[in-house]
Amino acid sequence: MPMSAEVLERSLQEAFPDAEISIEDLAGDGDHYRARIVSTAFRGLTRIKQHQLVYTALKGRVGGELHALALETVAPAGN
């Protein structure tokens, strides 16, 4: 069963409570999303490490309930 955008956003918000998150359903099928996540958790990390944090937060759902996820991870500007 596909993952809804709401479930995806809730899962990410639980993992990154301070984050600004936007989710876009790329194909309208609940299987292909783009997520933009702005969180202090990403500060000082490489993009690969940032994406690994997201995949860990999704607890193995990518490739299962969630077929494809295009990620944009960003640390907020400033302090």
CATH label of the domain that carries residue 63: 3.30.300.90
Q: Is residue 79 part of a domain?
A: no
Domain that holds residue 27: 5-74
42 assigned to some structural domain: yes
Chain mean position to CA 19: 10
H/E element holding 71? strand 68-74
* pLDDT in the model for residue 1: 72
Residue count of the chain? 79
- Which tokens sit at 42? 């990403």
Q: Look at residue 61 and tell me if it is in a domain.
A: yes
Per-residue pLDDT tens digits for 6-51: 989 999 999 999 999 999 999 888 788 999 999 999 999 999 999 9
Q: How many CB atoms lie within 10 A of CB 55?
A: 14
pLDDT of residue 29: 81
The single-letter DSSP state of residue 23 is E
3-state SS, residue 44: coil
Q: How many domains does the structure of the chain reveal? A: 1
pLDDT in tens, 50-69: 999 999 998 877 777 777 88
